[in-house]
A and B are shown apart, each in its own frame.
Chain A
Amino acid sequence: MAGLAPTFGRGAMTNHWVDIRNADLILVMGGNAAEAHPVGFRWVMEAKEHNDARLVVVDPRFNRTAAVADYYAEIRTGTDIAFLGGLISYLIETDQIHHEYVRAYTDASLIVREEFGFEDGLFTGYDAENGEYDKETWQYEYSDEGHALRDDTLQHPRCVFQLMRAHFSRYTLDVVSSVCGTPRDKIQHVWDMVAATVVDDKTMTILYALGWTQHSIGSQIIRTAAMLQLLLGNMGMRGGGVNALRGHSNIQGLTDLGLLSDLLPGYMTLPEADEQDYEAYILDRSRPDLLPGEVSYWRYYERFHVSLMKAWFGDAATEANNWCYDWLPKLSETLYDVIHTFERMSHGEITGYICQGFNPLAAFPHKAKTSAALSRLKYLVVIDPLRTETAEFWKNHGEFNDVNTAEIDTEVFRLPTTCFAEEDGTIVNSSRWLQWFWAAAPPPGEALPDTAILAGIFLRIQQMYRNEGGAFSDALLNLSWPYRYPAEPSPNELAREYNGWALEDVYDEQRNLVCRAGEQVEDFGMLRADGSTASGCWIFAGCWTDEGNQMIRRDNSDPYGVGQTLGWAWSWPANRRILYNRASARPDGTPWSERKAVVWWNGNRWVGNDVPDFPVESAPTVAQGPFIMNQTGRGQFFARDRMVEGPFPEHYEPFETPIANNPMHPSNPLAKNNPGARVFEQDRANFGSFEEFPYAATTYRLTEHFHYWTMHNRLNAIAQPEKFVEIGESLANELGIAKGDRVRVSSKRGYIEAVAVVTKRIRPLQVAGRTVHQIGIPLHWGYLGETKRAHLTNTLTPSVGDANTQTPEFKSFLVRVDKL
């Protein structure tokens, strides 16, 4: 997601599942939708069958998506920036870009500061000692009014377009082939197929998933794809977009609600330690327009923030105390992500840990480190419907979990909770739809819903503070708790709270009453910064209005026949289904193509088959840009200071690479791997070299399993009973491994054993003059449940993350393989 927001403004799938059917070309890279999202993938097949669409797959393995593709090209894991960067250069040099779209809807014409530069793999401002950038020069040149300078002819040598052109010019066909290991003719074929979507009435959609995020350069891979779609004019269009297929049922919702160390609900952010002044905190986030008159919707940040504080602290939040600003925790570190946390835990710096439906022992990289870290906790609380390896990390399971139980002094609580079938509530699917569901039966035994467990713990802590006093307690004692049964807040009450309501009558600028005190707000436009509204998550405003719960809606009619179903469930923001859909129309407000139309200007307002993602009365003559969350109103080729490792994507090798150096920068060791990545000392010591571990490994899902849950289900255990790894035929021959042999796969961090599947579907690649073999390792199976007992895959994986998100590099690491 960290690649999408700096480009388009929001970190979410831009289009939706059914809209895939409107595409003319579907590019699947960094994902395997046929396997991991099989029912959503039907819309790809629908596009092929009824829209004459072509499907292209670029992946290390000839996977299940490739099996039904029109074209497949193999690629070395972790080299997608080179593949797509080369494509961007090819489009520019052969003049196959959407000129009018690029000029009107992107930042291509904006002029960048003179001091900005890029040399031998590093952007200006690199501090090699600390491994960090000073991003001061990564900016446009601004006028005295604070607006970016521009050259609409795109000829200025420092305009974004020319800088981008120069940046990617190094990614020639030969270079890309050498880095990626993809044969030249296949690269050219894919590039030509993609280039054909530059015309007005053709769109390409890009589907990706964890195959892009789980790299040390993951966010920049996604950005490269986003830039590609801007160049082709495929954003905001039917059948276009960059579609992040999220991995879990409600990862989108948890991210929307800010359950990440640095976030508050609705993509607001916690203050940093040195942001002591409330007004400065708000000012820094109320992003002004960088081009005159743009929407730049974050300018209303304070409305969303104050409404959140009113939802949390009620009457205690007043203008006089800056809406309880001091009560919010302030961050001393950029992120307290899981790699950071388990590093601290391994040094004994964490006392307690609560795992709510999360199984870190199986899900985090470098299991031995995770296990040692958990052993240093004083207490661990696991809230889960199922037995998990994490809850039993202290139990000896022989070679699968060889720990000394008596020496582990962690007190572990295991609390049974309801599963989806036993509770009411909503989850947000990848398309941003909030769908309400109902409990069908009570949970087994004494299991309780998570809300009752959380409330039970919280109310006890609160009582202890009332009785005993203790550390700072204003925030926890004043937390608004308006629930009918305090020990078990109901899903209805919580949903109404994150939607929000008026505390006093709310008026618009013309003094018209828009919402009476006590009424639910209808959209985030009603929220105010004066304390007269409360809303727990501004982007969800509109999901539960005075007309009732919008998330239960069940009208699947599709009057325009384009797959929008606006009456089914509710989609954030404001029930818009295709983000940035203003860009589906020309600057003059007419659709680029009738086939692709989403919204258009009818002379008075924006109308169409979707809710406009744009001010509905903003006339084309006003010329506001379609990317309303961005300060420029435009899609950003140049990320400015919003990315850690640079405003343009650059290829860097995985931290465990099967080749000696970065072919883009062979003589600069600082540019071998992502220069902005954070690596802890003990993790660096645990990286292997290609001399010792020669094969590139990648992990993935199977359609029959879901992580470490479904091994507890009999049906799924029957479908895929035993751990296996995939090895290409030529490597298997070299190592004397036959189909069905048991093998040991080892990395610097440990080993697993599994059955070898010898396959033609993984081919050796020629990379920088060397033959590279890739090994495929499904992430499933463990030693609990109904499948055959097996080692956890994350025994092997390295503990290093993407420089922006710290998502672990599960998709590229080094192993060796031995026949048992």
Chain B
Amino acid sequence: MTLKVTRRQFFKLGAVGMATSSMAMMGFAPEPAVASIRHFKLTGAKITRSNCTYCSVGCGVLLYSRGDGAINSIDNIYHVEGDPDHPVSRGSLCPKGAGLLDYIQSESRLKYPQVREPGTHEWKRISWDEALTRIARHMKDDRDANFVDQDAEGNTINQWTTTGMLAASASTNETAYLSQKIARSLGMVVLDNQARV
């Protein structure tokens, strides 16, 4: 049997005549007072180095998350602050950087692959496999129908101009490099990013 006793109940128990000292001896210790010590909210947090995702200053940020990386625990970022060691930002963040947590946790974050079928009014959740397979099928069909291996002058051009791609200005170099490598191997030339805009 476990009996939870708050401090207040404990003193009440004492008031009705029981010997509180013997209660304690029997193992009914009161829980710590809520007002006693409140732990610093970042105690035990995992700190991860990152960089702000907005403008090109590249301010250093520290992401504080809870969770120990174990299989059954899910890390959750609950605090973001400037990295004081960063030589450019020295711990500062602007109003955008200071709001990064709200971006990470935004209600508008997408969680599942979805499709909007032609002419319909709503999104429909689909599996990753269905999404990627259907997209690959569209791309292959279009590529097979419109790929140009030679132009009218007989030049070998191996060019695909009817599917295009816009790459993301906030994606990593690693993503960007893979995008470039894949796009050109498909013969894609309609390829751009925000640098143009």
Contact = CB atoms under 8 A, between A and B. Distances in A.
B53 A274 contact: no
A407 B172 CA distance: 37
Nearest to B106: A712
Nearest to A210: B197
B178 A454 contact: yes
Given A254-B176, A352-B139, A458 B162 contact: no
Nearest to B99: A715
Contact of B169 (A249, A394, A406, A419): A249
A819 to B, nearest CB: 31
A261 B190 contact: yes
Contact of B189 (A252, A336, A439, A453): A336
A419 B104 contact: yes
Contact of A449 (B54, B109, B168, B175): B175
A489 B87 contact: no
A248 B176 contact: no
B112 to A, nearest CB: 5
B180 A265 contact: yes
Contact of B52 (A249, A331, A352, A405): A249
Contact of B54 (A249, A383, A441): A249
A247, A257, A455, A497, most chain B CB atoms within 10 A:
A257
Interface stretch (B7-15, B16-24, B26-34, B150-158): B150-158
Given A255-B195, A353-B163, A413 B142 contact: no
B42 interface: no
Given A329-B188, A479-B181, A451 B175 contact: yes
Contacts of B155: 273-274, 276, 330
B64, B114, B149, B194, most chain A CB atoms within 10 A:
B194
A716 B100 CA distance: 9
A301 interface: no
Contacts of A433: 58
A248 B196 CA distance: 12
A70 B158 CA distance: 57
Interface in A451-480: 451, 453-458, 460-461, 464-465, 468, 470-472, 475-476, 479
Interface in B32-72: 46, 48-60, 63-65, 67
Contacts of B185: 312, 327, 475-476, 479
A248 B88 contact: no
Contact of A460 (B97, B110, B133, B164): B133
B140 A465 contact: yes
A254, A257, A409, A442, most chain B CB atoms within 10 A:
A254
Nearest to B82: A39
Contact of A494 (B46, B50, B57, B177): B177
A13 to B, nearest CB: 8
B5 interface: no
B102 A378 contact: no
Interface in A24-53: 36-40, 42-43
Interface size class of A (residues with CB under 8 A): 35 or more
Nearest to B163: A352
Nearest to A414: B114
A523 B179 CA distance: 24
Contact of B51 (A249, A450, A472, A497): A249
Contact of B162 (A254, A337, A349, A460): A349
A193 interface: no
Nearest to B63: A440
Contacts of A430: 56-58
A357 B162 contact: no
Nearest to A433: B58
Contacts of A283: none
Provide the main secondary structure of the chain B interface.
mixed
Interface stretch (A73-81, A142-150, A584-592, A698-706): A698-706
B143 to A, nearest CB: 6
A429, A807, A808, most chain B CB atoms within 10 A:
A429
A750 interface: no
Nearest to B156: A326
Contact of A703 (B89, B94, B114): B94
A788 B172 CA distance: 31
A668 interface: no
B147 A472 contact: yes
A745 interface: no
Contact of B174 (A364, A414, A495, A563): A495
Interface stretch (A225-233, A420-428, A514-522, A627-635): A420-428
Nearest to A716: B99
A338 B166 contact: yes
B82 to A, nearest CB: 8
Contacts of A625: none
A378 B131 CA distance: 15
B189 A435 contact: no
Given A349-B162, A387-B108, A476 B186 contact: yes
A337, A355, A411, most chain B CB atoms within 10 A:
A411
A712 B113 contact: no
Interface residues of B, number: 119
B4 interface: no
Given A254-B176, A354-B166, A712-B106, A327 B158 contact: yes
Contacts of A429: 51, 56-58, 88
A623 interface: no
A568 B58 CA distance: 13
B195 A260 contact: yes
A739 interface: no
A284 to B, nearest CB: 16
Contacts of A349: 162
Contacts of B135: 379, 381, 413, 457
Interface in A688-738: 703-706, 709-710, 712-716, 719
A358 interface: yes
A427 B58 contact: yes
Contacts of A464: 136-137, 140
B157 to A, nearest CB: 4
A508 to B, nearest CB: 28
A253 interface: yes
A586 B140 CA distance: 59
Given A274-B155, A421-B77, A713-B103, A454 B195 contact: no
Contacts of B63: 421, 440-441
A446 B111 contact: yes
Interface in B85-102: 85-90, 92-100, 102
Contacts of B114: 413-414
A271 to B, nearest CB: 9
A454 B58 contact: no
Contact of B157 (A17, A329, A497, A703): A329
Contacts of B94: 38-39, 703
Contacts of B108: 386-387, 712, 784-785
A808 B144 CA distance: 33
A356 B123 contact: no
A237 interface: no
B177 A709 contact: no
A387 B110 CA distance: 6
B173 A426 contact: yes
Nearest to A470: B144
Contacts of B113: 413-416, 446
Enumerate the 6 nearest inter-chain pairs by beta-carbon distance, A residue then B residue, closest first. Answer: A445-B111, A357-B168, A429-B58, A425-B172, A248-B169, A416-B110
29 contacts: A17-B88, A247-B55, A249-B58, A254-B195, A260-B195, A274-B153, A329-B158, A329-B159, A349-B162, A352-B162, A354-B166, A356-B179, A364-B197, A383-B168, A384-B110, A386-B110, A406-B121, A421-B63, A426-B172, A426-B173, A426-B174, A431-B58, A435-B60, A442-B75, A451-B178, A464-B140, A468-B140, A495-B174, A554-B49
Given A250-B173, A412-B115, A454-B179, 14 more contacts: A1-B195, A257-B173, A336-B191, A355-B165, A378-B138, A386-B108, A395-B121, A414-B115, A420-B51, A421-B48, A430-B57, A437-B51, A479-B181, A494-B178
